[in-house]
Structure formats: C-alpha cells, structure tokens
C-alpha cells in the first residue's frame, strides 16, 4: 500500500462506519450498530500503525520524514492560475503520534461505550445507533484535523470536531442542562474560532498560500516577518477556545452533561488537545515571537493553577476530572510556551491514557450508582468494584505524578523546562499545581472508593460492570503505567528522538532552548516525586484519618471556599458582563425592529391597502356590472379601430373591404 492510500484510509474508514450506521442503524442494526464503528476505528488504527512504521523507517533513510500528500485539488482561489487549495495530508512524526493517540483511545472508548450505553438489563439506550454514528464522525473529523496539510483543511477538521462535540454534549437533547451545555460549548468555541479564522486569513494575506509546506518554510516565514506575534496570538485564540484555557474555559465543565465516554474521548483525551497540537504544529511561527510564547506560557500556568484550585472543592466526580483536564492542558501550554514542544506533546500523549482511564472509571462508577456522580452520596466502593477501583487508582497515581507512572515523566519534563526558562517562577507554579493535583485526585479516590460503604437510595448493592467496560479500563491502566517509558529517559527518550525533526526548525529561534537546558541531575525528579507523595498523604490524612479537618477548613475560610467552590464566579461574571448587556442590546434591536422597521413597512404597505380600499367599491359582485364593464371595453375597442381606420391604416382596411 502506498503512503497515500494509507493516509486516505485513516479518516475515511471511521467515516464509512459512521455513515453506514447513520443510514441503516435505526432500521437494520440497532443494538448491533457498534460493530461497524469498532471495525472502522480498528482498521484505521491498523492503518495508522502501518503509517507510523513507514515514517519511522524513513527516519533512518535519507528521505525527509515529513511528506505532503495531495489527495485532490479542492478549489481555486481565483487570484492567479494554479493557486489551488488542495486536500492535502501532511505525514510526519507529530501526525503519527497524534493519530496513534486519537485512534487507540477512540477504539477503547468505542468498545467501552458498547457496555456503557445500555441500561441494567443490557438493552441499548435510546439513540444508541446515533451515538455510535457521532463517535465515528468524530474520529473522522479528528483524523482530518491531525492529518491536514494546510490551514484550510485544519480549520475544516477544527470545526468538524467542534460540531461533533456539540452533537455529543447535547446527546441527551431532551435534558435542558445538556442542551444548554451544548449551546454554551459551541458559542464559546466560536469566540476562539473567530480569532483562529482571522489568523488563518492573515497568514493567507501575507503568504498567499495556506499549505504548511510553504508557510513553515524559510520563504514563508520571510513573508510573515513582522506579523509573527499577531498571527501567533490569533491562532492561540483558537487554541484557548478549543482547549478550554482561561478565559474561555467555561464550556468544558458544563460539557460533562454528555455521556461519560464522550467526556473521556472528546473532552479529555483528544479534541481538547487539538489546541496543543495546533500550537505545536505552528511551533515555527510561535517560536519566532517571544511575546506569543510568553502569553502561551502565562495562560497555561495560570489556567493550570486556577483549575486545580477549583477541582479541590468540587464534589462531582466528572467535574473534578474536567477541571483536572483544564489544569493538565494548562501544563501542556506551559510546556509549549517555554519551548518544550516535545515535552508538551509527550504530556498530551500520556495524559490521553490516564485521563481517559479516569473518566471511564468515573463512568463505570456512575453506571453502577444509577447515574449518581456526587461523591458525597457514595463511598467505599472499592470492595464491590475491584477492577474499577484498581484502574482508577492507577490512573489517579499517574495523574498525581506518582513516581515511575506515565504522568510523572511527562509532567516532570514540563516543570523542568519551566524552571529553566526565563521565568523560573512558572516552574514553581507548576510544582504547586502538581501538589494540588495529587491532593484533589486522591481526595476523590479516598471519598469514593474507601471508608465505610455508602450508597445512593436507588442502588441496592455495588456490582462491577461487564467486560465491555472493564477491558478498556485495564488496557488504559496499562497505558497509564507504560506510556511514560516511550519518553524515558527524560528529554532523550524514544518519543523525543522521533519528534525531534518536527521541531528542529523552531529550536534555533527560541531564546532558551529546552534541549540545552542544564540537567541538574535527578534532583527535580526526587522533588516532584516528593510533592506527589505529599499531596497523596495530605488527602489521606484529611479525608481518611481526620474527616473533620476538611469541614473545619472549609468553614474556617468560608468566603474563600465559597468563591472557589463557585468557580471564582466566572460564569456569573460573564453573565453580568457579557450576556446581560448583549441581551439588552438584543431587546433594544428587537424594539427598533418592532417600532421603527415595522412602522416603515406599515407606511409602505399602506399605499396598496389604501388603493385597494378605494377600488373595492368597483367590485359590486353583480354579474351585470361585470357585463357592463365588458360592453364598455368592446365599445372602446370598436371606436379605437374606427379611429385607426380613419387614420393611417385606411388603405389597409380598404384593401380588405375591397377583397
């Protein structure tokens, strides 16, 4: 198989599955709908593995590792002959890593959904086939986004995943909260996408082409010279929206209204990392602008800390994980901002596994608790749900950065890079965040899985979910342990070497290159391991040994707790600052429309109405009145013809009458 065939197969196989399920799912497949999507995603994963193999083997050859494959010519911009936008795929190590991450997590989530999207009697939920069709569509969109070889196709995939996110958050569309959350996600994303679109337009204006090949080349960067900062910041707008960074993070916690597999796949592992991917992909542009790098790092660090504090106070398992996701995405942006592109992608890769594992574990708990997800209402589930508890523990340890697990290696690299950047305090923020991460993760674990068994009223006894659910959990837990070793030893692992050609062009432009940072032995490793263990111990001490401490602390700093618990009132601030003024403006416009525009229309339409009123009297409804009209018409025609006869056409009529 050629590289081109492989590249085409990867997005199209899931799409084919989705379309088939969409077409015949409701009538023919119903509860067997998942097979087509599993097959499509699985085949795409195989194709992606083969693609990865090709690229890795090329890395040793003399051939370039990045190859642009033109699928077909899309449309002509009309400016000059030959300026076509193509549907083109860029295949390079970054693409391969993203594809493998997306497709492997997707496959596991799709398998998990088979067990999850059923009730306790094993009957599929309403909309079962719709769910799988959307999942397939999402995988197609995400693969398109990742494979895109120019900004236009990237934008297409970007919007497509946004659409899938909207559809899946609003999957339970008859639930008002879900419908609201879907709308919110879509609208907040639009704000970011607006900036993203502007950035792409600016690139087109400067370079005259949107192909990565051209834009990222030396010539392309030459054309962008002077505009790198504005372009990078506009592109980063899109990333802020899609990856739920401050100040556009508000949609992600609400997105948890969607089914849990969706939260795991789209709102934790894959789609929200599109922003990170995009910034990494545009590393050349970002690296050329110190200001943009600085903004990325600051927003990343701020978001990481901000979201972690909120996560400490929440009680909804999925929301804790959502804020944790925002926080971890902040880490990734921090890594990008300090120039450690490969470390950010490494963290993206490991995060996908352990966060998906945690989300699916939360979903397993939710399924067993008949939809209850508030950790105040249940506890001590570890005895009844051994597999879920074990995998949740592993995922939690990885998230907390416990030594030797996946999160430990990747997070540590970002912290190290931040500490060696021009602003070492970013690194301290990262360390503080790491402490809180460990704390809130294990706060959740200790409350939910340990201690005396407490259950919601609706649940009689705890039971483990079926194999459709547990096997993906186990696989993801293995990934949460092992994924980190692809990047071992730190900064020189296999993954870094593999990704190195992608960021080669960006490295010389950085003020402080991450790769030539001095390695201060293993000190940082020990420090972060200690922080992680400290956080876990604190959670154990507060929530297992002295359960009263937490309440006392919350009431001791009541106002602070209330502020954090209410997510710093960001939603309320937006409501007062943006939504209400806009609503008032809308009302004003409505009033203008009603009283001004309608008045104009009324005046205009008054003319025909008045004429009609005047002429109405002519319609007597009497047959003879109409006949009279006819007769008058006939007389008029006769007289007109006679006048013509008397005038110029006399000869003609004379000719007729003479025969």
What is the helix (H) or strand (E) element at residue 67, kind and residue range? Answer: strand 67-76
Residue 619 binding other proteins, by CB under 8 A: yes
CA distances from 310 to 304, 451, 575, 577, 589 (A): 10, 24, 19, 21, 38
Would you give the DSSP letter of residue 123?
A: P
Q: Roughly how many angstroms between the first and final C-alpha of the chain, as a whole number?
A: 90
Query: What is the smallest separation between the CB atom of 634 and other proteins, expressed in angstroms?
Result: 7
Query: How far is C-alpha 103 from the geometric centre of its chain's CA atoms?
Result: 15
Would you give the DSSP letter of residue 118?
A: B
The span from the CA of 10 to the CA of 508, in Å, is: 34
Binding-site string for other proteins from residue 636 to residue 655, where x marks contact by CB under 8 A and - marks none: --xx--x-------------
Residue 617 binding other proteins, by CB under 8 A: yes
Residue 62 binding other proteins, by CB under 8 A: no
Nearer residue to other proteins within complex by CB, 552 or 642:
642
Residue 108 corresponds to which tokens in the numbers above?
Answer: 């596991």
Beta partners for residue 70, in sequence order: 88
Residue 225 binding other proteins, by CB under 8 A: no
Query: What is the smallest separation between the CB atom of 168 and other proteins, expressed in angstroms?
Result: 53
Nearer residue to other proteins within complex by CB, 464 or 649:
649
Binding-site string for other proteins from residue 581 to residue 610, where x marks contact by CB under 8 A and - marks none: -------------------------x--xx
Q: Quickly list H helices, 406-546.
A: 406-419, 425-449, 467-482, 494-503, 523-540
Nearer residue to other proteins within complex by CB, 218 or 618:
618
Q: Which stretch binds other proteins (CB under 8 A): 55-63, 368-376, 385-393, 620-628?
A: 620-628
The span from the CA of 236 to the CA of 291, in Å, is: 12
Nearer residue to other proteins within complex by CB, 78 or 617:
617
Q: Quickly list H helices, 504-597.
A: 523-540, 547-556, 558-565, 570-574, 580-592
The residue within the footprint of other proteins, chosen from 226, 508, 621, 648 (CB under 8 A), is 621
Number of residues binding to other proteins, judged by CB under 8 A: 27
The residue within the footprint of other proteins, chosen from 218, 603, 604, 618 (CB under 8 A), is 618
The residue within the footprint of other proteins, chosen from 576, 579, 628, 650 (CB under 8 A), is 628
Q: Which stretch binds other proteins (CB under 8 A): 54-62, 137-145, 279-287, 627-635?
A: 627-635
Cis, peptide link before residue 128, omega less than 30° from 0? no
The residue within the footprint of other proteins, chosen from 61, 623, 647, 648 (CB under 8 A), is 623
Query: What is the smallest separation between the CB atom of 641 and other proteins, expressed in angstroms?
Result: 10
- Would you say how long the chain is, in residues? 659
The residue within the footprint of other proteins, chosen from 77, 83, 598, 620 (CB under 8 A), is 620
Buried b (16+ CB within 10 A) or exposed e, 143-163: bbbbbbbbbbbbbbbbbbbbb
Residue 657 binding other proteins, by CB under 8 A: yes
Nearer residue to other proteins within complex by CB, 205 or 628:
628
What is the helix (H) or strand (E) element at residue 85, kind and residue range? Answer: strand 84-91
Q: What share of the chain is helix, strand, coil (3-state, %, to 5)?
A: 75, 5, 20
| Chain contacts with other proteins (rule: CB under 8 A) | 606, 609-610, 612-613, 615-624, 627-628, 631-632, 634-635, 638-639, 642, 657-659
């Amino acid at each position: 198989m050629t590289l081109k065939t492989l590249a085409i197969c990867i997005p199209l196989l899931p799409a084919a599955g989705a379309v088939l399920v969409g077409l015949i799912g409701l009538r023919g497949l119903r509860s067997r709908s998942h097979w087509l999507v599993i097959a499509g995603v699985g085949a795409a994963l195989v194709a992606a593995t083969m693609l990865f193999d090709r690229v890795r083997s090329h890395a040793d050859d003399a051939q370039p590792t990045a190859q642009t494959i033109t699928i077909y010519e899309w449309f002509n911009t009309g400016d000059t002959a030959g300026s076509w936008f193509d549907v083109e795929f860029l295949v390079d190590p970054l693409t391969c890593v993203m594809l493998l991450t997306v497709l492997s997590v997707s496959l596991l989530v799709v398998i998990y959904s088979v067990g999850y999207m059923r009730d306790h009697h094993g009957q599929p939920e309403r909309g079962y086939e719709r769910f799988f069709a959307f999942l397939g569509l999402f995988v197609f969109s995400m693969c398109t986004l990742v494979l895109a070889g120019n900004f236009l196709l990237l934008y297409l995939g970007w919007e497509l995943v946004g659409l899938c996110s909207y559809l899946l958050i609003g999957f339970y569309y008859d639930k008002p909260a879900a419908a609201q959350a879907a709308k919110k996600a879509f609208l907040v994303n639009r704000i970011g996408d607006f900036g993203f679109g502007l950035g792409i337009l600016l690139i087109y204006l400067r370079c005259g082409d949107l192909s990565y090949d051209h834009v990222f080349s030396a010539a392309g960067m030459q054309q962008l010279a002077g505009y790198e900062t504005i372009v990078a910041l506009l592109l980063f707008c899109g990333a802020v929206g899609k990856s739920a960074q401050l100040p556009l993070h508000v949609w992600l916690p609400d997105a948890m209204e969607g089914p849990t597999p969706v939260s795991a796949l789209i709102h934790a592992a894959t789609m929200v990392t599109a922003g990170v991917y995009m910034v990494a992909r545009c590393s050349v542009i970002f690296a050329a602008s110190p200001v943009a790098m600085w903004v990325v790092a600051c927003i990343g660090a701020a978001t990481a800390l901000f979201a972690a504090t909120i996560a400490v106070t929440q009680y909804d398992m999925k929301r804790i994980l959502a804020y944790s996701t925002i926080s971890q995405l902040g880490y990734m942006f921090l890594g990008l901002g300090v120039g450690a592109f490969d470390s950010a992608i490494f963290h993206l890769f490991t995060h996908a596994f352990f966060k998906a594992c945690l989300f699916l574990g939360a979903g397993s708990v939710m399924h067993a608790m008949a939809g209850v997800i508030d950790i105040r209402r249940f506890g001590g589930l570890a005895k009844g749900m051994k597999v879920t508890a074990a995998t949740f523990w592993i995922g939690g340890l990885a998230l907390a950065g416990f030594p030797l697990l996946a999160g430990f290696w990747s997070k540590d690299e970002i912290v190290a890079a931040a500490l060696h950047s021009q602003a070492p305090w970013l690194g301290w923020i990262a360390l503080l965040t790491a402490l809180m991460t460990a704390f809130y993760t294990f706060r959740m674990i200790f409350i939910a899985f340990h201690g005396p068994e407490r259950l919601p009223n609706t649940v009689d006894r705890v039971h483990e979910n079926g194999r459709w659910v547990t096997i993906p959990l186990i696989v993801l837990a293995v990934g949460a342990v092992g994924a980190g070793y692809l990047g071992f030893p730190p900064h020189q692992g296999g993954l870094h070497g593999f990704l190195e050609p992608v960021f080669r062009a960006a490295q010389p432009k950085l003020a402080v290159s991450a790769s030539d940072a001095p390695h201060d032995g293993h000190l940082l490793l020990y420090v972060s391991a200690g922080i992680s263990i400290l956080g876990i111990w604190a959670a154990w001490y507060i929530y297992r040994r002295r359960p009263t401490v937490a309440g006392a602390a919350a009431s001791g700093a009541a106002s602070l707790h209330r502020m954090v618990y209410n997510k710093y009132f960001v939603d309320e601030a937006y409501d007062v600052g943006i939504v209400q003024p806009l609503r008032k403006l809308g009302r004003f416009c409505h009033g203008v429309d009603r009283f001004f525009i309608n008045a104009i229309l009324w005046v205009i339409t008054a003319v025909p109405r008045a004429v009609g009123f005047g002429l109405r009297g002519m319609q007597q409804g009497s047959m003879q009145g109409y006949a009279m009209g006819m007769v008058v018409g006939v007389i008029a025609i006769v007289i007109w013809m006679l006048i013509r006869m008397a005038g110029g056409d006399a000869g003609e009529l004379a000719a007729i009458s003479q025969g």
